[in-house]
């Protein structure tokens, strides 16, 4: 019901949303009227959470609002088999555990098996009952302890260390490519170009070139199916990927909108982001813009599920606007898609090169990588 709410609506659902935003200090007062002020508050909430700021209540925004209702201590946190507990209280718990040196992975606000294992480690270390649940006793112990890790975000440091010790050779690395839509779901279809066909063709061009460099490549879909996002995430996590690259194109009501943007996991002002994901996003964005005439719409941190719930550093590329005739013409060209594929592969290789071995943006070619012996 909430995804149908619009300015002028008055209902209990609106009141719940307004109350949540008021408690968070984003909206001025409770109300049951969806007015312009509430729409602006929703936009501010979406921006803070790394969501697309539309001022509308879609499924993702509603879920984030539900999660924002919980503060650490409001409920007993535990691993549930039927439906995993999600909320800001879980995020707060994960952040505290990480700051004390316990590795529960990304701060994703989901009480999964890694979070339960970290809670058990913590409980064992402080001498309380080890049951994997964060109840009053565990919470009191948690609040009493001082951070044992300082001077940086431990999760980011772990990710950076794993990347730093990785070989510069691409051979044996696992890269997941996630082309949007598929099957009967075509996505955008404008100016004679179909999104699902373009991104799948680009994914295949990437796949062939990466395999030639010794990479193990996994595509999340074929030409005939369109997995749900959760299944795409599960695929990436099940193969223990080193990198995940999601491919998408965009559209807008104003045909003048154009350009390429790259997204990585991060939330502005929250201090939560993927260090390697951000660096990879910057490399891809710069390589594409150096080799093509696509407008540089820059890189952005977002907390979309695909970016947040994948264990590997993940980026999503929005490769232009099919609503823009020039972008559509570019993307419809096989030669242009070859340029995009080369730019991405060079960015992948540069991600693993040391600063001494790196080269100026836009200068490396795949043939250079082969000659340099970076295949093996």
DSSP letter assigned to residue 302? E
149 pLDDT tier (thresholds 50, 70, 90): very low
β-pairing, 296-302 vs 260-267, is parallel
According to CATH, the topology of domain 88-150 is Muramoyl-pentapeptide Carboxypeptidase; domain 1 (1.10.101)
Burial classification of residue 258, based on how many CB atoms lie within 10 Å of its CB (0-12 exposed, 13-18 middle, 19 or more buried):
buried
Q: Using the predicted structure, report yes or no on whether residue 1 has a pLDDT greater than 50.
A: no
Q: What is the CATH number of domain 161-371?
A: 3.40.630.40
Q: Is the pLDDT of residue 368 over 80?
A: no
Tens of pLDDT along 204-243?
A: 999 999 999 999 999 999 999 999 999 999 999 999 999 9
Q: What is the DSSP string of 309-335?
A: S-SS-EEEEEEEETTSHHHHHHHT-HH
Model confidence over 65-84: pLDDT tens digits? 999 999 999 999 999 988 99
CB 59 within 8 A of CB 114: no
Separation of alpha carbons 157 and 101, rounded Å: 11
Cα gap 122→142, rounded to integer Å:
8
For 276-319, the pLDDT digits (tens) are 999 999 999 999 999 999 999 999 999 899 999 999 999 999 99
How far is it, in rounded angstroms, from Cα 205 to Cα 208?
5
DSSP string, 7-47: TT-BSHHHHHHHHHHHHTTSSSS--SB--HHHHHHHHHHHH
Average of per-residue pLDDT across 81-101 = 90
What's the whole-number average pLDDT of the chain? 88
Is 188 a residue whose pLDDT tops 80? yes
DSSP for 210-232, please give it: HHHTT-EEEES--TT----HHHH
What Rg do the C-alpha atoms of the chain give, in angstroms? 22
| Contact assessment for residue 294 and residue 347, using Cβ atoms and an 8 Å cutoff | no
Note the pLDDT of residue 150: 47
Dihedral class, residue 171 (left if φ above 0, else alpha if ψ from -120 to 50, else beta)? beta
CB 166 within 8 A of CB 242: yes
Spell out the CATH class of 2-68: mainly alpha
pLDDT category at 144 given cuts 50, 70, 90 is confident
Stronger pLDDT, 170 or 149, i.e. the higher one: 170
pLDDT reported for residue 314:
96
> Do 2-68 and 88-150 agree at the fold level?
yes
The yes-or-no verdict on residue 98 having pLDDT over 70 is yes
Q: For residue 100, what pLDDT band results from cuts at 50, 70 and 90?
A: confident
Domain boundaries, the chain: 2-68, 88-150, 161-371
């Amino acid at each position: 019901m909430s995804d149908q709410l619009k300015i002028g609506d008055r209902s209990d659902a609106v009141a719940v949303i307004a109350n949540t935003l008021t408690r968070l200090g984003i909206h001025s007062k409770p109300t049951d009227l969806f007015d312009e002020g509430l729409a602006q508050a929703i936009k501010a909430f979406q921006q803070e959470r790394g969501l697309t700021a539309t001022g509308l209540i879609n499924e993702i925004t509603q879920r984030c609002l539900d999660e924002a209702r919980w503060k650490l201590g409001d409920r007993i946190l535990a691993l549930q088999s039927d439906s995993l507990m999600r909320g800001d209280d879980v995020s707060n718990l994960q952040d505290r555990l990480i700051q004390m040196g316990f590795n529960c992975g990304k701060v994703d606000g989901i009480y999964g098996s890694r979070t339960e294992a970290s809670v058990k480690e913590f409980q064992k270390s402080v001498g309380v009952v080890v049951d994997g649940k964060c109840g009053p006793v565990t919470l009191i112990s948690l609040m009493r302890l001082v951070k044992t890790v300082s001077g940086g975000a431990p999760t980011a440091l772990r990710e950076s260390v794993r990347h730093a010790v990785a070989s510069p050779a691409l051979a044996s690395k696992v890269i997941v490519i996630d082309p949007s839509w598929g099957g009967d779901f075509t996505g955008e279809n404008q100016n004679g170009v179909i999104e699902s066909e373009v991104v799948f063709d680009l994914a295949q061009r990437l796949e062939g070139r990466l395999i030639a460099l010794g990479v193990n490549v996994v595509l999340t879909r074929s030409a005939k199916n369109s997995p749900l996002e959760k299944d795409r995430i599960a695929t990436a996590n099940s193969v223990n990927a080193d990198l995940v690259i999601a491919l998408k194109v965009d559209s807008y009501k104003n045909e003048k909108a154009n350009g390429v943007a790259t997204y990585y996991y991060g939330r502005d002002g929250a201090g939560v982001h993927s260090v390697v994901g951000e660096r990879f996003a910057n490399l891809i964005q710069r390589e594409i813009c150096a080799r093509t005439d696509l407008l540089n719409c820059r890189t952005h941190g977002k907390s979309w599920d695909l970016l947040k719930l994948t264990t590997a550093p993940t980026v999503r590329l929005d490769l232009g606007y099919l609503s823009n005739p020039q972008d559509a013409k570019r993307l419809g060209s096989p030669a242009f898609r070859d340029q995009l594929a080369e730019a991405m592969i060079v960015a992948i290789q540069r991600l693993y090169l040391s600063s001494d071995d790196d080269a100026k943006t836009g200068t490396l070619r795949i043939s250079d990588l082969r000659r340099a012996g970076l295949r093996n």
